Amino acid sequence: MFSAPHRRLNLLTGESILVSPQRTARPWQGQEEARLAEDRPRYDPACYLCPGNIRAAGARTPDYRTTFVFDNDFAALHPDTPPERFEHGSLLEADSERGVCRVACFSPRHDLTLGQMDLKAIRHVVDTWTDQYLELSALDWVNHVLIFENRGALMGASNPHPHGQIWANQRLPSEPALELDRQRAYGHHGSCLLCDYLTVELNEQERVVCQNSQFVAVVPFWATWPYETLVLPRRHAGALPDLGNDERDGLADILGRLIRRYDLLFAATFPYSMGFHQPPTDGADHPEWHLHAHFYPPLLRSATVRKFVAGYELLAQPARDITPESAAQQLQALPDQ
């Protein structure tokens, strides 16, 4: 690949990203994040997600043993919001939006992270996500379901207890809408965009971080975040419920391996936002859609130096210094655990 500055195309969004490999030598005198203490008890009486505790709005979290899902007590969306439209001439417009917001606890153990849980427990989380997708997608007014995890204070997670969120929306949000258009438009090749992309990555191996018989994790060619990854099933599957038993095990395995590599990279619990992009739940068939998970970690060069999306990136386009290839090589070089 180039050693000169260049632009790369994000296949999934159609946006481009600027890569400046020569810039990595520049000195850093900017902000460093404080390292957070990571010693946590198995049970924290003050944690609203630990079994048996009272949550902020007064409900009690039950004495759960595996996973536990509840409606977010401070939900951003409500299922019963009445339809309303606001227009001001042809310039200002707004529509009411219905939705369901849930919180999914991954484990009763306060001190674990998804990567530290054993395979059986991670598989249980995969099954919980699948059940939630099935349940929420069955609501006739729900057209999109996003399952995600914000991990770490750096990503704005409000609590270290292992948990994620689920938002079901009436309308398709912007990122999935872009991905839908791009995957659909690729259909004229007579094949699937991400199936073909995966073939290229498996042939080249340069950006593959880890893999098993069912799933592959790569630093995508167009990655914006320094250590961003894309997790793909080898087989063309659209949504979590399309995965067979072995594939669900494979997903649990690849998530554990990838997260443990992240944690080893800077010897710290690696913050990230991760989530699954699945087809719209609009009742139509979506043969173009290939299930995938994005991991967007903010760290740049150590546990205390993060990437800021500001300046040129905020005002013009995403940009990066360390190449996706060198980020992939660093992650590849770590021991598989």
329 binds, among Zn ion, ligand H2U, none (CB under 5 to 8 A by kind): none
- Member of 66, 72, 330, 332 binding ligand H2U (CB under 6 A): 72
Residue 330 near ligand H2U by CB under 6 A:
no
Two tokens, residue 248: 């669900």
Minimum Å distance from CB 103 to ligand H2U?
Answer: 4
Active-site residue, from 161, 163, 290, 294: 163
Two tokens, residue 5: 């500055």
How far is residue 165's CA from residue 103's CA, in Å, rounded to a whole number?
Answer: 5
Q: Which is nearer to ligand H2U, 45 or 283 (CB)?
A: 45
Choose one: 21-29, 90-98, 150-158, 213-221; the region binding ligand H2U (CB under 6 A). 150-158
Residue 103 near ligand H2U by CB under 6 A:
yes
Q: Map residue 227 onto helix, strand or coil.
A: coil
Closest CA relative to residue 232, chosen from 278, 280, 285: 278
- Contact between 215 and 258 under an 8 Å Cβ cutoff? The reply is no
Two tokens, residue 114: 């998804």
Site string for ligand H2U, 43-62 (x = CB under 6 A): -----x------xxx-----
Minimum Å distance from CB 149 to ligand H2U?
Answer: 8
286 is catalytic: no
Residue 96 near ligand H2U by CB under 6 A:
no
Rg (CA), the chain: 20
How far is residue 82's CA from residue 286's CA, in Å, rounded to a whole number?
Answer: 29
Minimum Å distance from CB 49 to Zn ion?
Answer: 5
54 DSSP assignment: B
How far is residue 257's CA from residue 260's CA, in Å, rounded to a whole number?
Answer: 5
Residue 158 near ligand H2U by CB under 6 A:
yes
Two tokens, residue 310: 């500001």
How far is residue 143's CA from residue 173's CA, in Å, rounded to a whole number?
Answer: 10
Residue 221 near ligand H2U by CB under 6 A:
no
Two tokens, residue 127: 């099954």
- Please provide the size of the chain in residues: 337
34 DSSP assignment: P
Q: Which is nearer to ligand H2U, 55 or 171 (CB)?
A: 55
In the complex, the residues that contact Zn ion under the rule CB under 5 A are: 44, 47, 49-50, 110, 161
- Angle at Cα 332 formed by Cα 125 and Cα 176, nearest 5°? 50
Residue 130 near ligand H2U by CB under 6 A:
no
- Member of 32, 38, 73, 87 binding ligand H2U (CB under 6 A): 73
- Member of 128, 130, 150, 269 binding ligand H2U (CB under 6 A): 150
Q: Which residues are near ligand H2U by CB under 6 A?
A: 48, 55-57, 72-74, 103, 150, 157-159, 165
Tell me which residues are annotated as active site: 163
